[in-house]
Structure 1
Amino acid sequence: MGILSTTISQLARMRLWRIEAWIENPVASQREVLQDLVTSAQYTEFGRKYNFSSLFSTRDFKKEIPIHEYDDLKPYIQRMMNGEENILWNTPIQWYAKSSGTTSDKSKFIPVSKESLEECHYKGAKDTLTMYYNFNPDSELLTGKGLVIGGSHTINQINDDVHFGDLSAVLLQNSPVWGQWIRTPELSIALMDEWESKIERLAESTIRENVTSISGVPTWTLVLFKRILEITGKKNMAEVWPSLELYIHGGVSFTPYREQFRKLIGKDIYYIDSYNASEGFFAAQDNPGAEGMLLFVDHGIFMEFMPFEEYGKKDPQTIGLKDVEIGKNYAPVISTNGGLWRYLLGDTIQFTSLRPFRIKVSGRLKHFINAFGEEVIVDNTDKAVSIACKTTGAIVNDYTAAPVYFGEESNGAHEWLIEFEKQPDDVNVFSAELDKALQSINSDYEAKRHKNIALRQPIVHVMDKGFFNDWLKSKGKLGGQHKVPRLSNERNFIEEMLQFKP
């Protein structure tokens, strides 16, 4: 283990010059990525349809190819899953990442080519490790093991050559040998699909390991921590894993969970935010203490950015890296080495830095509240919840919110369902602090709250512990991949939850 760790850490440090090259030349790197993508796919069915062989500039590419959502590409993907080749990409696609959010019962099947595995997902993981070693050269990360808390890992076989599962399953099944050596738990536990049993096995199998890093979504990581502390009787995770130094998170904002992690771990460690979705590994923090993740511009994905106000227009416009601005909301439009072409990802991002290009995920295109012109996004509410928690001493596990529409004798409001790990002494005080924080963050919300003209005080319901997990379980969506919809501009989710009885 010592020799292997030393070798891998040396290789990680040697990669730094490659990262520095594309950081210095991001626009040129993106131009080269697009050229490689178009050249590779020019003789596919999609490439012939849109004249890839005649596209010699970004302008031509954008003019020739419309923006696609999943349903637009679904007929192509279905044919590929049935065994047809050279449809969207020029190499056989044997793996598909099944992605299903809480917003729909439908599943998406994202093509994962060998190129997207090697040149995007695994390359992104290696670059994240390299950036961490550059930031923390004295790290002893690889003297121990990395605990991976993935999603539900059932692998399904369509035919002899084609399989699908969630992204975690696809990455684990295809990971290189060295990745298996430095990871825990063993594959049979990592691939378990039933989450309550899985947490138990994860706890039992990792207690005696020398865990130095953890990767996973915050909610299930916290569940695992609490179970391990119950089994061991230890005060905090630092007593269980004294060499723990790094937590890599992604998928949801870490802001509401930071205080819980600090208390449960019991010592200072580094936290790295990453943006690794089924469609690709887009970004990760190069500096754990700075806001924003370094955008990966050399990882087989060409990126365009749709200003938020363009969404829903008949012919929405996009811009490139050289035209983006700090603090504005953009919806990424991606073309990938897995065969997604001008694909609207569905997330919204903001740039936090332009030299180099760093981003943060601000929400989802369909996860916002704008019933009264308040334009509230998930980034706003996550920050407001965090501020209210600090002010009142509360700890929030999860939440969702939706508008309450105007009535005959009342104006509008935002209705919140909040599950607390630690309840505030007075929920009304918490509600007031939440409202105050949101007004300080979002001037449009503040204007609508002025003298209760459009919006009155938020309505807050305290939910029992475990409520949101029970709700997800009732929908067959319990697991690391699935998330509670934080915001909705309609009331369908919140009405369903208010009627739900575990």
Structure 2
Amino acid sequence: MEIINSILTWVMKKRIHDIELFMKYPHEVQEELRISLLNRAAKTEYGLKYGFESITTREEYQRNVPIVSYEDLFPYIERLMKGRQNVLWPSEVRWFAKSSGTTNARSKFIPVSPEALEDCHYKGGKDLLSIYVNNYPDTKMFTGKNLVIGGSQQVNQFDKNAKSYYGDVSAVLIKNLPFWAQMVRTPSLDIALMDEWEEKIEKMAHYTIDENVTSISGVPTWTIVLLERILELRGVDSILDVWPNLEAFIHGAVAFKPYRQLFKSLIPSENMRYMETYNASEGFFGIQDLTDSTEMLLMLDYGIYYEFIPVEEWDNENPKTLSLEEVEVGKNYAIIISTNAGLWRYKIGDTVRFTSVDPYRIKISGRTKHFINAFGEELIIENAEEAISAACERTMAEMENFTAGPRYLQAGAKGCHEWVIEFNKHPDDLERFKQILDEKLREINSDYDAKRHKDMALTAPIIHQVPKGTFYSWMKGRGKLGGQNKVPRLSNNREYLDDLLGVLA
């Protein structure tokens, strides 16, 4: 294994030169990429509709091609899922990454072309390893296995004759990995792709407990559930008693900061390395490339052309977009992407803040709308308002104001959502109100439902009823009274919750 480790470390380091190239010439790389994408897709349905062939400049691209949401692209994606090709991208598209957060359906399905798999997602995975071994030349990562905590995969149910498939993006990647990559990962494919999470966690724990796991890749919340189960099975307090050679946790999807202390207690080693990535269903965007900072290098040669909407333009019908060379350090921008999977000027809903422009490094700053995604549940305002309306209607209640946020996972205690609600008319049964709220959220948000399944990662919500006038007093104390000032419905941290509950103390 030492020889394999040395060979793989050498191979991975060879990519560093290419990374340094786009760091040095970012604008040229992005401009060449935009031209290439448009040329490739010129004869697709979408390319013909918007005249890709005649577009020669960035300004023409911005004028001729509209900024779109998932709802706008859904008619094209639906045809792809039913087997039609050459719609958004010329290559055959058979795979779709499933995620939640759309307003017109319970889940959304993002096309994943062969180029998106190879030149974006897999390239990102290889670059992550290249950067890691370059930063830590003494690594022994490849002497053992990478524990991958992925999603599930299943056959697309829209049209059984279409031979198209969908699953969480991690599952799509695992299913299509080359044989050599399958050899260095664990658990087995049949377990990794299970969609019943309670059974999956149990089987993963038993399968991996005797493996030589040297690195873990996954979302913090599910990783904690697995690690705690393994500790329980072994009857030990430290995961290092199970996997003494564990050296790295590669994470993404949700903010890691709230979980850092918990991971330190589960893995009590000063030598443990944590590495953040920005990998979504729509593409692989960023990798933490510094050892002393969590900011991420924006990856510019993955078949993704970037544009950015300044904060003051977010709500405009036709917002002004900036190219990479126009962004400024410290400002928040919504990301617009055009990709080698056929997403054209697509709003992914994320916002980033640039920490550097030489090279371009970013931190994820949030979403263009209020949300809760502390556990990977992607709860949006539309979900919350629909659920609270249903609960009010069925318990004869009238709601005055509300806000909600996460109660984070702690050692021995699972996470949940915490709601502060001011009623004009109280529900006839608060427990029933809570139950309806929870059930409605599970019905309309598949990611929330997955996290709530058998209380594995997320338990039932906590609800605080507060006296009438509470929100008025709170907003007044914040200097936020007036027509343009709205109560923040959802937050991905506890800032509003703790401040509001502090008023009641």
Task: Give the superposition deviation at 1:489.
Answer: 3.9
Q: 1:492 to 1:57 in 2, by over 3 A?
A: closer
* Residues 304 and 333 in structure 1, CA contact (< 8 A), matched pair in contact too: yes
Partner in structure 2 of residue 346 of structure 1: 349
* Residues 83 and 164 in structure 2, CA contact (< 8 A), matched pair in contact too: yes
* Residues 154 and 166 in structure 1, CA contact (< 8 A), matched pair in contact too: no
Partner in structure 2 of residue 272 of structure 1: 275
5+ residue gaps, structure 2, are: 386-399, 419-436, 462-485, 493-505
How far apart, CA to CA, are the structure 2 residues paired with 1:287 and 1:204? 35
Task: Give the superposition deviation at 1:162.
Answer: 1.6
Q: 1:91 to 1:289 in 2, by over 3 A?
A: same
Partner in structure 2 of residue 449 of structure 1: none
Partner in structure 2 of residue 373 of structure 1: none
How far apart, CA to CA, are the structure 2 residues paired with 1:136 and 1:336? 32
Partner in structure 2 of residue 243 of structure 1: 245
Letter in 2 for 1:421: Q
Q: Deviations over 1:246-283 (max 9, x none)?
A: 10111111010000001111112111110111100001
Partner in structure 1 of residue 431 of structure 2: none
Partner in structure 2 of residue 312 of structure 1: 315
Q: What is the total number of aligned residue pairs between the two structures? A: 420
How far apart, CA to CA, are the structure 2 residues paired with 1:401 and 1:334? 21
Q: 1:136 to 1:119 in 2, by over 3 A?
A: same
* Residues 155 and 169 in structure 1, CA contact (< 8 A), matched pair in contact too: no
Partner in structure 1 of residue 161 of structure 2: 159
* Residues 145 and 211 in structure 1, CA contact (< 8 A), matched pair in contact too: yes
Equivalent runs, 1:47-66 vs 2, <5 Å: 47-66=47-66
Q: Deviations over 1:414-445 (max 9, x none)?
A: 55562552699xxxxxx9xxxxxxxxxxxxxx
Q: 1:469 to 1:245 in 2, by over 3 A?
A: farther
Partner in structure 2 of residue 285 of structure 1: 288
SS in 1 for 2:410: strand
RMSD in angstroms over aligned alpha carbons?
3.4
Equivalent runs, 1:246-257 vs 2, <5 Å: 246-257=248-259
Letter in 2 for 1:120: C
How far apart, CA to CA, are the structure 1 residues paired with 2:363 and 2:119? 22
Task: Give the superposition deviation at 1:152.
Answer: 3.0
Task: Give the superposition deviation at 1:328.
Answer: 1.4
Instruction: Calculate the TM-score normalised by the size of structure 2.
Output: 0.76
Q: 1:469 to 1:191 in 2, by over 3 A?
A: farther
How far apart, CA to CA, are the structure 2 residues paired with 1:421 and 1:29? 44
Partner in structure 2 of residue 455 of structure 1: none
Task: Give the superposition deviation at 1:289.
Answer: 2.2
SS in 2 for 1:346: strand
Q: 1:118 to 1:488 in 2, by over 3 A?
A: farther
Q: 1:29 to 1:491 in 2, by over 3 A?
A: closer
5+ residue gaps, structure 1, are: 369-377, 383-395, 405-410, 425-430, 432-467, 494-502
Task: Give the superposition deviation at 1:159.
Answer: 2.6
* Residues 212 and 245 in structure 1, CA contact (< 8 A), matched pair in contact too: yes
Partner in structure 2 of residue 233 of structure 1: 235
How far apart, CA to CA, are the structure 1 residues paired with 2:192 and 2:18? 32
Of 357, 362, 366, the residue aligned with 1:359 is 362
SS in 1 for 2:312: helix
How far apart, CA to CA, are the structure 2 residues paired with 1:401 and 1:121? 26
Partner in structure 2 of residue 323 of structure 1: 326
Partner in structure 2 of residue 418 of structure 1: 407
Of 184, 187, 197, the residue aligned with 1:185 is 187
1:297 aligns with 2:286: no
SS in 1 for 2:163: coil
* Residues 151 and 481 in structure 1, CA contact (< 8 A), matched pair in contact too: no
Partner in structure 2 of residue 173 of structure 1: 175
SS in 2 for 1:325: coil
Equivalent runs, 1:412-451 vs 2, <5 Å: 416=405, 418=407, 421=410
* Residues 77 and 111 in structure 1, CA contact (< 8 A), matched pair in contact too: yes
